Chain A
């Protein structure tokens, strides 16, 4: 839409499903907006404690080496140094196990190296001192003797017979015999007979694709403030997507009782999956215990790049067969992902998402989780899915081009619908892929004329979405306001959506509701803010907790009126007599009931806890126009439209924000971003200057279309929206580049040098 047409909308949107809602679907100001525009919101590094020390971590300069000796005595002797820790200061009771079964051991080994350093940036020791400068100086006084070992950082190289072994015994039982020990997990799924399917096709394309590791790139480096005593009781303040998980892991790594460590989540300066695990928190706790002082630990940006989770890199082979009418007859994919020096590259998600957009008779997918000498990968927005979409949607585009078919029509013809047996197994309930494709087709962008040198690409994308363990409490105040305590850190405006859902149930204005992110001592276990689960799962629990409170409110009214609670309805924030008693009493507003709650039975609260399993899967279709400069090889995105199924947009502005943010990250992944390793196995670009995420002048406005196909698994129809938006951009841009310049880029990022190479080949062919 044109710039001057856009104003933030204050009213509800005009979708049919809205008519039943008073608050849901409106766009109020977020409750924490004031704090965040004035600088008073407290993020991870913004907390200070009396007597606090500052910590710093010594990191390996080698990609792979045996630690022969660490001597910390000179550092310990420095004035101002209060504690030095190495692996010896962590639990010896965390068992090693193959694959993901040993995840706590993997995390411990990643947090502080044991016998070997496994990647450039791997932590080997840490210091707490009275000032940050002394802590940094003390690192230089720690002597580490290394025996350097051969290393490998490329996924295909790491699978070859002569590749250096990262760790023997890390492979779990899923791995077929005869594979290199670096292959630690294996996945295979699908249905039908792909070979028979390929035989039916009029055209079969088989191609190889790669994507590089990219970093989540949150602007806030990891930061924490830890206090732990030798009595085993501690407090931890940190920026995290999930503080109960932090509590559980830190307790295990430091031999604490979980409940004795209270963790408070700070405001979080971005995460995108990268703050779903721990890196520095156990180190700060160990230092605090040893020094008997609070310890603050903040990562530098280069530490964030070198030692926190980038996404996995991928090497992929795709084969798809199509009939002349556009019917896909069979599809096959092999996905090799490296996730650093530990098991966990999300190759099963890559395999399962790859063909999930399509209704396929014959489909087969294989995944390999491969270890290399790189940092332990962490989740990144729809982990595993974007690379699959890049490869698959590129091949589908190529098939459309060669068969002269419209890319949207072909996708519509093959689209997964309600009742489709998904490529990864289950049968889809009601889903919204077709609706996103129809909306994309009808969007003015799809038929707008292109300028010379420009090309248009489209792509679909899929993500599962997730429910997870969730607990929410709601308490009413005497004046009729309500506090909602949720356990999922607010990473992009979720306080607003929780307040809207609570307002809807209670029938009181949005402004009367305060949503707090509770600490681990104030609420039951809550899984991490991941898997696009917050508005779905915490939202569902907020609705149920509010309904629990409403039941109690109705009971108080029933008691007052001397009628049965079943004869009391809750309408628009008031108890109303119904049935045989209808009209007998005046409606009793919420605040009238809470005013006397102390005398009528005590405080009124609502609570709900569950592991909801009805997270609706989500699909998107993106349209992008790109312009390729044939002289420099540089590509510019000139127009972008995101169409995605949100199920039900609780706060549409923040849903749009998720769509736009995912698209922008995808643009970075497609065009600029990559981990670059030198022959020495060291990361060459651990900073925002050389690892270039999109800046404001790189991007156009990003238009959004919110499709609403309600999720039957949520009371208001919510589907998660956070992740799917990063799945289509990679292929959509590759397809646009192909249409703009006639070259097919199979390796990401599509940096100018790669485009120029392809253009030169094109000229050579001509």
Chain B
């Protein structure tokens, strides 16, 4: 099938690519653009490992076609840190051991950052329901939830 030209913005940079119209945004990010931070855990929008933001909205990149990125702004885990300075969530995830194998971590960080941008003071229940679309098989979520809540508290103090 003939490839289509797409212009988009990823983590603030303008990016152009050619893709088959059947390719998902996740395929494009990983296989065409070398952004392998987003992971394919299911390909059906059930696990959240491929989470990105599209114009600020949390999205499973496996459920969106690459060509649909035309004209939109995409945010991935690679864009979370500010240069060499990790985002507070990234630091807290390490400190709390909120990851074991780490495969779900990029998606959970993207989702958690998106939550804190909308709601800087979430309850435990709000964090649990916001992250209910991000599967983690290793941790039982305990340390993830604590890390997100503590990050939120620290960011509130800092602001």
Residues of A whose CB lies within 8 Å of any CB of B are 3, 6-8, 27, 29-30, 32-43, 45-46, 48, 131-133, 216-221, 267-272, 298, 300-301, 491-493, 653-654, 656-658, 660-661, 663-665, 687-689, 693-699, 701-702
Please tell me if the beta carbons of A697 and B128 are within 8 angstroms of each other in the complex.
Answer: yes
B57 within 8 A of A: no
Give a binary string over B7-43; 1 marks a CB under 8 Å from any A CB, 0 the rest: 0000000000000101100010011000111111111
B138 within 8 A of A: yes
- List the 5 closest pairs (A to B, CB-CB), nearest first: A39-B37, A269-B103, A664-B140, A36-B102, A33-B94
B149 with A3: CB separation less than 8 A: yes
Q: Which residue in A3, A492, A688 is a CB contact (below 8 Å) of B100?
A: A492
Docked complex Cα distance between A268 and B101 (Å):
6
The smallest beta-carbon distance between B99 and chain A, in angstroms, is 6
Within 8 A of A (CB), among B75-122: 76-78, 80-81, 86, 89-90, 93-97, 99-106, 109
Contact indicator B132/A43 (Cβ below 8 Å): no
Chain B residues, Cβ within 8 Å of A300: 43
Cβ contacts B118-157/A at 8 Å (1 or 0 each): 0000001101110111111111111111100110000000
Q: Which of B94, B101, B128 contacts A220 (CB 8 A)?
A: B101
- With a cutoff of 8 Å between Cβ atoms, the chain B residues found around residue A698 in the complex are 132
A534 to B98, CA, bound (A): 20
- B101 contacts A46, C-beta separation under 8 Å: no
Distance in Å: Cβ of A302 to nearest Cβ of chain B? 8
User: Is B46 in the interface zone, CB < 8 Å from A?
Assistant: yes
Given contacts A219-B103, A270-B138, A696-B141, contact A38 B43 (CB under 8 A): no
* A219 in contact with B136 (CB, 8 Å): yes
A39 close to B106 (CB less than 8 A): yes
B98 CB to closest chain A CB (Å) equals 9
Q: Is the CB of B144 within 8 A of A696?
A: yes
Taking CB atoms, residues of chain B closer than 8 Å to A693 are: 135, 137
| Chain B interface extent, by class | 35 or more
Q: Does B74 contact A (CB under 8 A)?
A: no
Query: Could you list 28 examples of A-B contacts with CB < 8 Å?
Result: A3-B124, A3-B149, A8-B97, A30-B94, A34-B86, A37-B93, A38-B37, A39-B36, A40-B37, A217-B137, A218-B103, A219-B136, A220-B41, A267-B101, A267-B102, A269-B101, A269-B102, A270-B138, A491-B100, A654-B100, A657-B100, A658-B100, A661-B139, A664-B141, A665-B137, A689-B44, A695-B132, A697-B131
Smallest distance from the beta carbon of A656 to chain B beta carbons, Å? Answer: 8
> Which A residues are CB-close (under 8 A) to B94?
29-30, 33-34, 37
Chain B's closest residue to A658 (CB) is B100
A219-B37 contact in complex given A38-B81, A699-B141, C-beta closer than 8 Å: no
The reply to whether A36 and B105 contact each other, CB–CB distance below 8 Å, is yes
B140 touches A661 (CB 8 A): yes
If A218-B101, A660-B139 touch, whether A43 touches B39 (CB-CB below 8 Å) is yes
The answer for the CA separation of A660 and B31 in the assembled complex, in Å, is 35
Most chain B CB inside 10 Å of its own CB: which residue of A6, A7, A219, A698: A219
Cβ–Cβ contact A220 & B39, under 8 A:
yes
Chain A nearest CB from B126 CB (Å) reads: 10
Contacts of B69 in A (CB 8 A): none
Nearest B-chain residue to A45, judged by Cβ: B40
Since A36-B99, A301-B42 are in contact, a sample of 7 more A-B pairs with Cβ atoms closer than 8 Å, ordered by chain A residue number, is A29-B94, A35-B102, A39-B36, A39-B77, A491-B100, A657-B143, A697-B125
Which residues of the other chain, A, contact B38 by a CB distance below 8 angstroms?
39
Contact B43 A270 (CB under 8 A): no
Among B30, B109, B141, B150, contact of A37 (Cβ-Cβ < 8 Å): B109
A487 vs B75: C-alpha distance when bound (angstroms): 36
Whole-angstrom distance from the CB of B45 to the nearest CB of chain A? 8
- Asked whether, in the complex, the Cβ of A696 is within 8 Å of the Cβ of B128, the reply is yes
Q: Complex formed: what's the CA distance from A45 to B37 in Å?
A: 11
Check B47 for interface membership: any CB of A closer than 8 A. Answer: yes
The interface centre, meaning the residue of B23, B78, B140 with most chain A CB atoms within 10 A of its CB, is: B140
Q: What's the least CB distance linking B116 to chain A, in Å?
A: 15
Contacts of A132 in B (CB 8 A): 27, 31
B21 → A minimal CB distance (Å): 10
